[in-house]
Structure 1
């Protein structure tokens, strides 16, 4: 009996071993999913880079970016959104701002309706379905100040790991240099002098000090700059013990060198409320671009399976400060103005060159290449199992624009003109055939969403529930074949006013940058100054309530639109801008564009031919090239533009209207209480309201009064049971316009409790699980829904 048992056991064990070995062999032979390194450069438009034929007469040296471009594909006709937050939300969701609600750079006076929602089907959530670990290192800027999750917000959007800075830009430069100059005259945050002095650093044991002579700086920089790069505070012409800084001085923030760093190491539920401040920022006294590279490399090394790292550099966003000499050599260490309004070209080059060096070091640290002996430039690159994607998040900031070839600093970042939205995109790695080429086809930043899904081997359109319409188009065909036909016939971009808190004291104020005035973005004098602007808000020498009032004081002035959209084809571009009409005070019954509006708005349209030619080699939409400027008022633009331009105008107008109309349903549904973006009002919305009730603003602050309270619950209760998209659209899980057997198979694959409610598209009845009732609803839809 026992012998037979042993024999049977051996037979089973042997069979199991054979199956295990076979499975291992099959796994070994299966293609490995590529890793993904996604690099975002802040405020780097296409005008900055020589590898895209720009950069002006003295472009920055970017040998590492250039090498990646040589090993990959450059996309030369890419649109992002005009500001940081809308572009980032578009990349991480595959959705235009008109759908996400992230229409403007997020500031402290915005409500969570302007943030990237915790209920979006973000890249880290989607890629997790393919076994990918995801981390976001660097700049976040997708909403935290008034979010229930606070600084833990990235962890409620799908990222298990986040390390970096949360807000729009790094802190203002500390002109007191750590409190050592009470007059505040140190424009770059350190004493620009060769004088020796005492360098104080804060250790766990307390204050430490070392003296630096004029000629013994180990970093080949002035003693003061050397001290800053060591994380210290410098007292010029002093010995240790003189002018000793206080511990509080070490908490003074200082641009790229002393900044608040948030660290997150686990994912949280979308309904999480950070009542105990679980994700506090700590002051980091190291050069931010280097820290971001090092943090990214460390996370990468800890992973064993497929991974996606988003390395989101703050460079080259304001405030402008020189890079560390550990990164970019500065042998003469010349003084700089560190001006945000008139930044010297060498300073701008220095910042971008610093990002290029750290990109090279990141790739080397990840085992993807080797650096030269200098440790700054890649000598080789191995991308056999890793896809590298580099993009700018929007056009260059006005004063930083390269003026060569017509790029316009007035029509730069924050505008939908070419200088504001035209960005570089480079993709390299094993998915690229015939590297070293350029693709001129129209591409949008949202298209990266589908690209990353395709790299991971998943169909994002089938994973993201139909309640979240996607705008992303394929990019992989361009990488796989040099002869791939164009996929996009048109492109779209937009910028708009955020959803503001109704508190009057939290409004935005006029900030004039050059000849452009904006009064819907800037909420503080510091943020205005960091963008090179003149402040007209509280505390200003001259205060004004609006840009219209500034215009009355200063004369001719360009006023930034409240909302702006643009759509283009290969040849023509239509711009639609809603602007304040400074000649028409607002009437009591009018809907205000922003809570503090004094004037009505009017809609203006411009139309450009942006196909490059000899006089306009970059095909820019310059002010004097507007084809509508000579059309008589009241005349149909199509009739005065000529045949080809008139047809294009009509087509683009229809396209723009269709895009705007496509968001109407979701907007109405949110007004009824759909806080979790599933296009219905049900018990899950009641649970969402309960989680945030009394916790301040949230996506369940339905009436937008800055509080989640009983008034919002009343709206939800009245609308319980409303389905804003209908059974047919909800059941079309593969988004092909039909409800068929394929949709049923996708639903059955999700059977059971919804572990991730955001991606649980098969839950047709909204009860938190996919079960037989959902199968019945799908079967009913198959019979009743027509394609």
Structure 2
């Protein structure tokens, strides 16, 4: 839609009677609508009743359903398989292989695999149209300050450097582990060592040995309240935690909290560090001990977003991105106040009881854990849905009816609302029963449908025929161009012609109910982020049993592995891996050999995966490490990844997005035997052979792009840290700045990938000064992906 036409549409809208605080306000005549962008973490379409799925016991999502009914629901939207790559596509418009943002960022990755401050990010682009930009909550676009800020060149100003005028959220990819000590240092040396698996002290009815029916509830501001069972309080420990406090069981309030009450520890969704930066930078940490950092994340994320929006002038167009942390692990019971009375599990604290683990019965333990995970997932989604409704009401975009339902009429507002998932649901939360029957073994972190098929809802004043579905393919990368078009930005004029974005138009799907498909194919990928050379011995394996016993070195610390439901094979061993060397293992080949000797299977998380579809047929290309020596011929500690190459396989499927029973790319449903490319398609029909030929040819192009960009720093254009295709004085100036920041550690000017930005990198710039780099090299022949 032309910007002038959109302005006329907005100016002609009339709002509700705004006499009450919750009523929507009438739109201004501004030509530029506000944009509210809501990102849901680890929530795939398998959870969504509005799509016709949700399993036998779906979560309650009345507010998300209201948004879908008031706008358009995209039936065929893909994200990347993991968080950081998807979120980078939103704000750069480029596929991961163009930016080397290939997987979720962890402390051991180089900054070279983080979004670059030299990109024309979406907030920078929208600023050219007069927008101010805020990001609240979880986004995981940068490294964190773990490992002495190894991969965080701009520290707490990182999000400001990427273009946001206001950031109030988390640099980390997930809430920290649940504090199983419930804030009491007397219950163990660290947060993983206590008896309280849900982060609060249960009642004595649930846990006679460790529970409490009364106590002193201490708060970070120095206040204290006596709390006991009675009235609305059924579990004092839970009620205290929900209020931001720590319960001292069976005790009375003292003038000062006892020394063993620890407000510094992070506790899953209920206390955590926040990072804030403003329009002037000024990045700083708000610790978990600060009263403002204590409370349920979905509540705090909503409140902080509303606080920022309330400060914006009426004539100032804005884009507000709210990254809700739910439903990322660790799964943790939300506040009772956010859950409807009739929701199963609302008052169920049995999931926090040692009895729920069915000790000494491994099979029953797995069953009860799965039931608990699904129950808590549903509760977390319902709680988040409730806060999304509160967000719309607080922004005066909607109001609640007397019966609690959401009255949302986007045609009477000046704000476009976009809701999207960042990848498929994680294994332990996937709805594997009908309707839907999704595949938990091919979920988040895989390129299969359960891993990349996400909800995408859009509502706003320009929607033609609201309440419909768009069946056509869209990718997460396309949101970059959607937001730019809504704001009136000219992407093609703002982006260098030699580095075009991958984003395709999608605004026409909103304004024209009859718009034909724009994309001919959809693409997703995941790889291995760049890591410093010589750090292989610092990469520790984690095996996730629920994901088909997949082994990965993606999780750099034991606590993160355990929070994902994994078994840790690295340092600081547990009883499950007591037979390992004291230092643990540092690659998945060693783990495979060890587990094989125990009669246990192991699969490897691929080093790179890509998937491409034409809407009917889907090609998956997977690259995995190979091991040497041959399995079974040596002690487990002798194994390493093969230096001679990777095992690369093609898989061809037929898929659809039907409700209630979609055709999924399940194990065993491939149309022809899985093999190294090219596949032998002689047994397929002519149409299927042609589809594979087209998809395979396009996949080869994606492989070539990935190969080109992986080698950009060392082969194709060494010295060009800002990726403007020339090595010049700007690169010298940028190197000079980054070599002085963060102790000269990892940055986009670490060309030799040794984790340092130092004189060796300056020498590379000086050697190549004046060099112009041809983008034609991106079509070079592919090579196997980087090994991780």
Q: What TM-score range do you get, normalising by the shorter chain?
A: 0.7 to 0.9
SS of alignment partner, residue 604 of structure 1: strand
Q: TM-score, normalised by structure 2?
A: 0.82
Aligned-pair CA distance for 1:210: 1.6
1:492-541 CA distances to partner (integer Å, 9 max, x unpaired)?
Answer: 10001111133355424233332232323111111111111111111224
Does 2:309 match 1:300? yes
Higher mean C-alpha displacement, 362-371 vs 518-527: 518-527
Aligned-pair CA distance for 1:109: 0.5
SS of alignment partner, residue 472 of structure 2: coil
Measured in 1, the distance between the counterparts of 2:325 and 2:275 equals 14
Residue 560 of structure 2 is matched in structure 1 by 527
SS of alignment partner, residue 551 of structure 1: helix
Measured in 1, the distance between the counterparts of 2:28 and 2:456 equals 33
Aligned-pair CA distance for 1:419: 0.5
Aligned-pair CA distance for 1:30: 6.5
Aligned-pair CA distance for 1:582: 3.5
Measured in 1, the distance between the counterparts of 2:562 and 2:642 equals 23
Does 2:582 match 1:546? no
Q: TM-score, normalised by structure 1?
A: 0.82
SS of alignment partner, residue 466 of structure 1: coil
Residue 505 of structure 2 is matched in structure 1 by 474
Residue 376 of structure 2 is matched in structure 1 by 347
| Contact kept in structure 1, 2:334 and 2:383, CA below 8 Å | yes
**In 2 relative to 1, CA 29–504 (structure 1 residues): closer, same or farther, beyond 3 Å?**
closer
Measured in 2, the distance between the counterparts of 1:704 and 1:727 equals 24
Please list, as runs of the form range in 1=range in 2, the aligned pairs for 1:140-159 lying within 5 A after superposition. Answer: 140-145=139-144, 146-159=151-164
**In 2 relative to 1, CA 203–520 (structure 1 residues): closer, same or farther, beyond 3 Å?**
closer
SS of alignment partner, residue 152 of structure 2: coil
Residue 23 of structure 2 is matched in structure 1 by none
Aligned-pair CA distance for 1:634: 9.3
Does 2:687 match 1:682? no
Q: 1:424 aligns with which of 433, 455, 459?
A: 455
1:629-665 CA distances to partner (integer Å, 9 max, x unpaired)?
Answer: 278x898523333311111111001111122324555
Aligned-pair CA distance for 1:72: 0.4
1:523-580 CA distances to partner (integer Å, 9 max, x unpaired)?
Answer: 1111111111111111224244433333332433332111111111111111111112
Residue 693 of structure 2 is matched in structure 1 by 650
Higher mean C-alpha displacement, 577-586 vs 496-505: 577-586
Does 2:202 match 1:192? yes
SS of alignment partner, residue 279 of structure 1: strand
Residue 63 of structure 1 is matched in structure 2 by 62
Aligned-pair CA distance for 1:382: 4.1
Residue 772 of structure 1 is matched in structure 2 by none
Residue 636 of structure 2 is matched in structure 1 by none
Measured in 2, the distance between the counterparts of 1:696 and 1:595 equals 28
Structure 1: tracts of 5 or more residues without a match: 1-24, 269-276, 587-593, 730-787
Higher mean C-alpha displacement, 181-190 vs 62-71: 181-190
Higher mean C-alpha displacement, 545-554 vs 159-168: 545-554
Residue 629 of structure 1 is matched in structure 2 by 673
Measured in 1, the distance between the counterparts of 2:697 and 2:707 equals 16
Residue 702 of structure 2 is matched in structure 1 by 659
SS of alignment partner, residue 446 of structure 2: coil
**In 2 relative to 1, CA 720–199 (structure 1 residues): closer, same or farther, beyond 3 Å?**
same
**In 2 relative to 1, CA 244–548 (structure 1 residues): closer, same or farther, beyond 3 Å?**
same
Does 2:299 match 1:290? yes
Please list, as runs of the form range in 1=range in 2, the aligned pairs for 1:69-468 lying within 5 A after superposition. Answer: 69-145=68-144, 146-179=151-184, 181-182=187-188, 184-193=194-203, 195-202=212-219, 204=221, 207-217=222-232, 220-241=233-254, 244-246=257-259, 249-267=262-280, 278-283=283-288, 284-304=293-313, 305-329=316-340, 333-337=347-351, 342=370, 343-373=372-402, 377-383=405-411, 384-404=413-433, 405-468=436-499
**In 2 relative to 1, CA 596–550 (structure 1 residues): closer, same or farther, beyond 3 Å?**
closer
**In 2 relative to 1, CA 330–524 (structure 1 residues): closer, same or farther, beyond 3 Å?**
farther
SS of alignment partner, residue 273 of structure 2: strand
Residue 579 of structure 1 is matched in structure 2 by 624
| Contact kept in structure 1, 2:540 and 2:569, CA below 8 Å | no
Aligned-pair CA distance for 1:116: 0.9
1:245-280 CA distances to partner (integer Å, 9 max, x unpaired)?
Answer: 328701111000011111111255xxxxxxxx9422
Residue 360 of structure 2 is matched in structure 1 by none
Aligned-pair CA distance for 1:482: 1.5
Measured in 2, the distance between the counterparts of 1:595 and 1:546 equals 7
Measured in 2, the distance between the counterparts of 1:505 and 1:336 equals 41
**In 2 relative to 1, CA 596–208 (structure 1 residues): closer, same or farther, beyond 3 Å?**
farther
Measured in 1, the distance between the counterparts of 2:83 and 2:613 equals 21
1:699-757 CA distances to partner (integer Å, 9 max, x unpaired)?
Answer: 1111000111111111111111111137999xxxxxxxxxxxxxxxxxxxxxxxxxxxx
| Contact kept in structure 2, 1:406 and 1:620, CA below 8 Å | no
Aligned-pair CA distance for 1:140: 2.4
Higher mean C-alpha displacement, 143-152 vs 475-484: 143-152
| Contact kept in structure 1, 2:78 and 2:474, CA below 8 Å | yes
Aligned-pair CA distance for 1:668: 4.7
1:55-85 CA distances to partner (integer Å, 9 max, x unpaired)?
Answer: 0111111111001100000001111000000
1:349-391 CA distances to partner (integer Å, 9 max, x unpaired)?
Answer: 10001110010000000011112457x6423444521110000
Please list, as runs of the form range in 1=range in 2, the aligned pairs for 1:14-33 lying within 5 A after superposition. Answer: 32-33=31-32
Measured in 1, the distance between the counterparts of 2:678 and 2:700 equals 20
| Contact kept in structure 2, 1:673 and 1:700, CA below 8 Å | yes
Residue 747 of structure 1 is matched in structure 2 by none
| Contact kept in structure 1, 2:419 and 2:458, CA below 8 Å | yes
| Contact kept in structure 1, 2:33 and 2:415, CA below 8 Å | yes
Does 2:53 match 1:36? no
**In 2 relative to 1, CA 597–356 (structure 1 residues): closer, same or farther, beyond 3 Å?**
farther
Query: May I ask how many residue pairs the two structures share in their alignment?
Result: 682
Higher mean C-alpha displacement, 451-460 vs 387-396: 451-460
Measured in 2, the distance between the counterparts of 1:687 and 1:498 equals 26
Aligned-pair CA distance for 1:120: 1.4
Measured in 1, the distance between the counterparts of 2:270 and 2:468 equals 38
1:129-178 CA distances to partner (integer Å, 9 max, x unpaired)?
Answer: 11111100010211133221112210100001000111111010000000
Measured in 2, the distance between the counterparts of 1:505 and 1:208 equals 48
Please list, as runs of the form range in 1=range in 2, the aligned pairs for 1:488-567 lying within 5 A after superposition. Answer: 488-502=519-533, 503-504=535-536, 506-514=538-546, 515-541=548-574, 542=577, 543-552=584-593, 553-554=595-596, 555-567=600-612
| Contact kept in structure 1, 2:735 and 2:762, CA below 8 Å | yes
**In 2 relative to 1, CA 136–595 (structure 1 residues): closer, same or farther, beyond 3 Å?**
farther
**In 2 relative to 1, CA 444–687 (structure 1 residues): closer, same or farther, beyond 3 Å?**
same
Higher mean C-alpha displacement, 549-558 vs 304-313: 549-558
1:571-620 CA distances to partner (integer Å, 9 max, x unpaired)?
Answer: 1111111112236569xxxxxxx997788521111111114689x93121
Measured in 1, the distance between the counterparts of 2:712 and 2:420 equals 34
